[in-house]
Amino acid sequence: MRKLLMAATASVALAAPALAAADGPYVGIEGGVTFPRNSDLDVILNNTTTYDNGYKADYKDGYDVDAILGYKLGPVRLEGEAGYKRAKVKSLTASSTLLGDTSTASGTTVTAATLGTGDHIGVTKLMANALVDGDFGGGFGGYAGGGVGRAWTKYSGDKDSAWAYQGIAGVRYAVTPNLDAGVKYEYFRTGKLNFDDAFTANGTTFTTNAKGHYASNNILASLVYNFNSRAEAVPAAAPAPPPPPPPAAPATQTCPDGSVILATSECPAPPAPPAPPPPPAQRGERG
């Protein structure tokens, strides 16, 4: 489980530079199935004798509902989570030593059914989570991280609270610029819990104190509303058209006088020849 969460965190971290959601606050609701792990409980009988793994509780699959409130800042999401999970007890096994001692003390056969530890377990939690969030492209994204907090647990006719931690990994899809739908995996575990109880066998009353952890794997569907919508992608500016080619040089011709003119023009007429000089004047004869 730890390796799975580390791999999910690494994959999200690599995708983090292309962020999916705008920075800002968000809220969400989650619901799904909880798969409780078996609980091994040490039992102190009548405040005197301790039975290691005196009880072993096996649970049915149950339900899990959460509400989250958080803030996204770059690739990091910080959020508070409130949740409740509940599952029925499938079976309770008691150690043969505990059953033997209580049978001897009461003068009758004591079985696990005599212990009356209750038919369900319920856990209320308040957690603070830190997640790495990134975009995979095409509206898809993912996140991974963990959280710590407090869990209040009801079992065996008693209540107790303990510190708790969880590992988280999930994927999401942007249904709209503000709304994400997703699927989330969560591993949850409490610190040691203590449950006081009592049972009667053949008129003899026994008190018990059961100590142990609670742990579960949880799969939840989620809807998250981001108050700041995703920024619309700005289309790239169209490249400027290439400049038109320069106009072709006009055709020319060279005239006899050496001038260069357009081919469509006429060369200038050649200059007229100079006028001949006037004849010399004639003088008259003397008489």
Helices (H), the chain: 2-15, 96-106
How confident is the model over 119-170, as pLDDT tens digits? 899 999 999 999 999 999 899 999 999 999 999 999 988 899 999 999 999 9
CA–CA separation, 243 and 224 (whole Å): 51
| Largest CA-CA distance found in the chain, in angstroms, rounded | 202
Are 9 and 129 in contact by the 8 Å Cβ rule? The answer is no
pLDDT above 70: residue 220: yes
> Span 2-226: which CATH code?
2.40.160.20
Q: Which residue has the higher pLDDT, 52 or 245?
A: 52
Are 93 and 61 in contact by the 8 Å Cβ rule? The answer is no
Are 118 and 138 in contact by the 8 Å Cβ rule? The answer is no
| CB hemisphere CA count around 138 (13 angstroms) | 2
Helices (H), 199-275: none
How confident is the model over 84-118, as pLDDT tens digits? 999 999 998 999 999 999 999 999 999 988 887 77
pLDDT above 60: residue 16: no
Structure confidence at residue 12 (pLDDT): 43
Q: Pick the closest to residue 156 from 92, 106, 202 (CA basis).
A: 92
Are 127 and 140 in contact by the 8 Å Cβ rule? The answer is no
Structure confidence at residue 117 (pLDDT): 75
CA–CA separation, 150 and 168 (whole Å): 16
CA–CA separation, 175 and 134 (whole Å): 16
Looking up tokens 């579960």, which residue turns up?
Answer: 216
pTM here is: 0.72
What spatial distance separates the first Cα and last Cα of the chain, rounded to whole Å? Answer: 156
Q: What is the mean pLDDT of the chain?
A: 86
Structure confidence at residue 9 (pLDDT): 43
Tokens representing residue 182 in the block: 């997703």
Percent of the chain scored above 70 by pLDDT? 87
